[in-house]
Structure 1
């Protein structure tokens, strides 16, 4: 039984890590195609440049490694982050301070360091049990959810690069990880804003990029969200305003949730205004 459970556990981590590596390859292609001006240009995500976005991904991939392999370093960097966030409230300023912390000046060096850290992170977590607890800034997380969160953040931040380049995005069924975390953070989205959590949980029916149907919760004709999985992912990661998607949202609870949905940890964030990112 223990051997059988280990095989199942390995397949779970293998699937998530494969998705991270797939996304990293696509993002690497985007970054390699940027010239120096575009590398430092403002994107539609809080005016972060591609340079800032990649430094952010690199820094937190490294923090993920430290959480397992070097707790002293993790705690040192966590102290730095808490002090930075306490003294600075502007998202871009915070991100700039994190970038400067890396002491990497050139585009090629930043890309190379990110590739190396992302590969190291996925290699380490490939052999970690999915239920193993990992230290983070708030409550600790399972290794599985840790990797889902890294995939989600990489996928989410990539969108700003696609928008900057006005390049269409090819979606894959890897986004099932984001759908899953988006569904599971229904209650969190309300609690994080100190709002009462609705007793009724909306029914969700989504079409995957390959045409599969993904459904969640009990069928409810009065409270439901139906449409493309990619649209749902953009909403819960706050890349899109719900009104800029083709999701069919029925019911006041569903409408409220989609207006504040947040599948990532941290302070409450607001989605972009209608028409701001599409």
Structure 2
């Protein structure tokens, strides 16, 4: 697992990159539809602000967070959309200010967290580093939706390593939310980073393997692209099945994207639920 300070820096940088993408937009561009059905650019930023608030509660007020979880369990099919819709109804400048304030409060709370502390979440409890990695993953994923809506091709960065790591670590979770028993044996995942570097996870002699570009793996585990549109290769039936159900985000199984559902010129190989 990454050191908390390093992943918190990555989270700040990922958020700042997305901020630079949306801050100059005129109000009308905030209403652009994104690849997530029913969600505009404003919905994407509102969801990040909403989830940052929930994460801050988890870190600073577990009782209040438990109340939020109870509300989520009472309306599992609508609470994510309702939270995004509430924020998206704000004037863009107000929404942007809310997101900036909330993510800064969360960063400070995570930096001040006691070593070894674990915090409740909608999935398993998480350490400060794990919480920051999850927030980075979601910021990157929703940022991808925004970039696709704007017709922008983002330059991949080494921050993808954080998303790859959480994608590998959530393998068994993905099986579980689909009502499936995870394979007993670990997989080998070998990815090529943006600068040609190699990122590997799992035993070298594993029979089940996944290989390909790190960007494509990030798109897969955040369900921003269908596996048929990505240059990922699975060796072994269990690894092949995983590529059809992988999700790095907490919550119910995502609907994913249909084959060919990437914008023209977009990269090839939620979390919007």
TM-score (norm 1): 0.86
Query: Residue 215 of structure 2: which of 230, 234, 238 is its match?
Result: 230
| Cα shift at 1:128 | 1.7
Counterpart in the other structure of 1:6 = none
Q: Secondary structure at the match of 2:199?
A: strand
Count of residues paired in the alignment: 263
| Cα shift at 1:236 | 0.8
Matches within 5 A, 1:1-278: 12-85=3-76, 89=77, 94-99=79-84, 101=86, 105-220=90-205, 223-277=208-262, 278=266
TM-score (norm 2): 0.88
Please identify, of 239-248 and 95-104, the stretch whose mean Cα deviation from structure 2 is larger. Answer: 95-104
| Cα shift at 1:102 | 5.2
* Contact persistence 1:193–1:268 (CA under 8 A): yes
Which structure 1 residue ranges, 5 or more long, are not aligned?
1-8
| Cα shift at 1:248 | 2.5
Q: Deviations over 1:69-121 (max 9, x none)?
A: 23443344333333333xxx3xxx54442145559621001101111111111
Please identify, of 247-256 and 49-58, the stretch whose mean Cα deviation from structure 2 is larger. Answer: 247-256
Q: Distance in 2 between matches of 1:74 and 1:214?
A: 35
**Aligned CA distance change for structure 1 residues 120 and 183 (closer, same or farther; 3 Å):** same
* Contact persistence 1:12–1:130 (CA under 8 A): no
Q: Distance in 2 between matches of 1:64 and 1:134?
A: 9
Which structure 2 residue ranges, 5 or more long, are not aligned?
267-273
Q: Distance in 2 between matches of 1:206 and 1:99?
A: 33
Q: Secondary structure at the match of 1:249?
A: strand
Q: Secondary structure at the match of 2:159?
A: helix
Query: Higher Cα Rg: structure 1 or 2?
Result: 1
Structure in which a larger fraction of residues adopt helix? 1
| Cα shift at 1:25 | 0.8
Aligned CA RMSD, in angstroms, stands at 2.3
Please identify, of 17-26 and 248-257, the stretch whose mean Cα deviation from structure 2 is larger. Answer: 248-257
Q: Distance in 2 between matches of 1:138 and 1:224?
A: 26
